[in-house]
Amino acid sequence: MKRRLVLGIMDTVTGEMLLLPGVEKADQGSDDFELRVAGKPFAHVHSSDRIDVRLPQDVKESLIIQGVVARSPEMHDREGWAVMRLNPLSTLAMTLRVLQAAYKYTSSMI
- Does the pLDDT value for residue 110 go beyond 60? yes
Whole-number pLDDT of residue 24: 96
pLDDT, tens digit (0-9, with 9 covering 90-100), for 49-67: 889 999 999 999 999 999 9
Domain count, the chain: 1
pLDDT, tens digit (0-9, with 9 covering 90-100), for 69-82: 999 887 777 788 99
User: What's the domain range around 31?
Assistant: 2-108
Helix (H, G, I), strand (E, B) or coil at 102: helix
39-48 contacts: CB < 8 A, separation 24 or more?
40/106, 40/109, 40/110, 41/106, 42/99, 42/102, 42/103, 42/105, 42/106, 43/17, 43/99, 43/102, 43/103, 45/10, 45/14, 48/3, 48/6, 48/7, 48/10, 48/86
Whole-number pLDDT of residue 5: 47
Q: What is the domain-level CATH number for residue 78?
A: 3.90.1150.30
Whole-number pLDDT of residue 7: 54
